[in-house]
Structures are given as structure tokens and as C-alpha cells.
């Protein structure tokens, strides 16, 4: 379900560093996180999203999340922005 949400979103930001920056600038509507991503990589995103009360969706595969974003590599986090 969240894969569809990502692929249909008008604007997304792919990757952990960019997602963190987007959360800090208050433009994120929702964060999508891959469950198979390294916990150390996604912890900062999860912490910031929880702190700012941004909804977090989890999906099972980085590879499928990357594909939903239209990229050839896996994605650990994606931010849906307004």
C-alpha cells in the first residue's frame, strides 16, 4: 500500500540525509521507511519524525521502495512532501 502511495505522490525526497533535511524544514507530510534498512541509518529519521509528529509508514523492502520511487537502487527512507 505504501509503495503505491510513494509512486503516486507528486513530490518525494529519496534518501536518509535528504529526508532529515526535509523534516527539519517542516515540508514533510509522511515518511516511508524500509524495514530491511540498517537501523543505524534510519534511526535519526525515525526519531525526528516521531518528535515532529509526522506519520511513519513501514514497508518490507528497500529494493521495492526504490522501484516505487523510479530508481534502480534500494531506498531506505522516502519523504512525501507538500
Domain of residue 69 covers 2-81
Chain center to CA of 52: 15
DSSP 24-39: HTT-EEEEEEETTS-H
Q: Per-residue pLDDT tens for 40-64?
A: 999 999 999 999 999 999 999 999 9
Mean pLDDT rounded to a whole number for the chain? 95
The CATH number of whichever domain residue 74 belongs to comes to 3.30.1330.30
Contact criterion met (CB below 8 Å) for 6 and 32: yes
Report the pLDDT value the prediction gives residue 82, as an integer from 0 to 100: 87
Count of the separate structural domains present in the chain = 1
- pLDDT higher than threshold 90 for residue 1: no
Q: Per-residue pLDDT tens for 2-12?
A: 899 999 999 99
Amino acid at each position: 500500500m505504501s509503495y503505491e502511495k510513494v509512486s503516486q505522490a507528486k513530490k518525494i525526497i529519496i534518501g536518509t540525509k535528504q529526508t532529515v533535511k526535509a523534516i527539519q524544514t517542516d515540508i514533510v507530510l509522511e515518511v516511508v521507511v524500509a524495514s530491511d534498512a540498517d537501523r543505524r541509518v534510519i534511526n535519526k529519521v525515525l526519531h525526528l519524525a516521531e518528535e515532529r509528529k509526522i506519520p511513519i509508514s513501514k514497508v518490507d523492502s528497500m529494493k521495492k521502495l526504490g522501484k516505487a520511487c523510479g530508481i534502480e537502487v534500494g531506498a531506505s527512507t522516502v519523504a512525501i512532501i507538500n
